[in-house]
Amino acid sequence: MPKDAEEHRKDAAYKQAKREGYRARSAFKLQDIQNRYNIFKRAYYILDLGSAPGSWLQIAKKYAELNLTRYFDKYYHRDHYKIMGVDTKKLSPLEGIKIIKMDFTTPEFLIEVSKYFEEEKLDLILSDASINKSGNKFSDQARQTKLCFNILELTKFLKFKGNFVIKIFQGVDFENFYTKMKRSFMVVKSLKPKSSNKKSNEIYLIGLKKK
């Protein structure tokens, strides 16, 4: 077993994820974000980008199901939820979730989103998507930021006051992306979840209340 894989299996968060039935330790990153910013409040229509292996979809489903009864009032509410996950890697099925194996930067994906959600606006878009790292910190950061700009274009599917979470790498291009994101959301916060690798330059931006 490669050294990195062996260390990963010894990781406390990895072991906890397995105990709790999550597909990966990354579930706790999303849970940390939820605990801080309540991004799942009244979220029924959810899109998850870069879904493999599916732990964020598991968290999304948990909250979408809770919302069906938690917010049964005179305000915004649905009697059903729709969740779509997409990745270029194959994902094992999750009951009640639409999973697509394709590149979400293609025009064909836009058609899939419109069709599945029946042209309705989304409550929440999540992205834990990442480039395949080369090991060159500077080029990887630039490539990840370019991907993030492509993902930001997909927020056109978000409803007014919808929420957005995206993973980006800290570096020279970070401020440009952060500034552009602020133009689209009333509030933008940054967070490095407790369960993130301390050595990693990944950070999450949370866009609250789309303009």
167 is known as an active-site residue: yes
Q: ω into residue 193 within 30 of 0, thus cis? A: no
Give the end-to-end CA distance of the chain in Å, rounded to a whole number: 48
Cα–Cα distance, 209 to 164 (Å, whole number): 8
- CB neighbour list of residue 51: distance below 8 Å, 6 or more residues apart: 57, 85, 86, 87, 91, 99, 128
Set 159, 167, 199, 210: catalytic member: 167
DSSP state for residue 107 in the 8-state scheme:
H
Q: Are 117 and 45 in contact (CB under 8 A)?
A: yes
Which among 153, 151, 180, 183 is positioned nearest to 167, based on CA atoms?
151
Measure Cα distances from 22 to 92, 114, 135 in Å: 13, 29, 28
Q: Which residue has the tokens 């492509």?
A: 150
DSSP state of 121: P
The residues that are catalytic are: 167
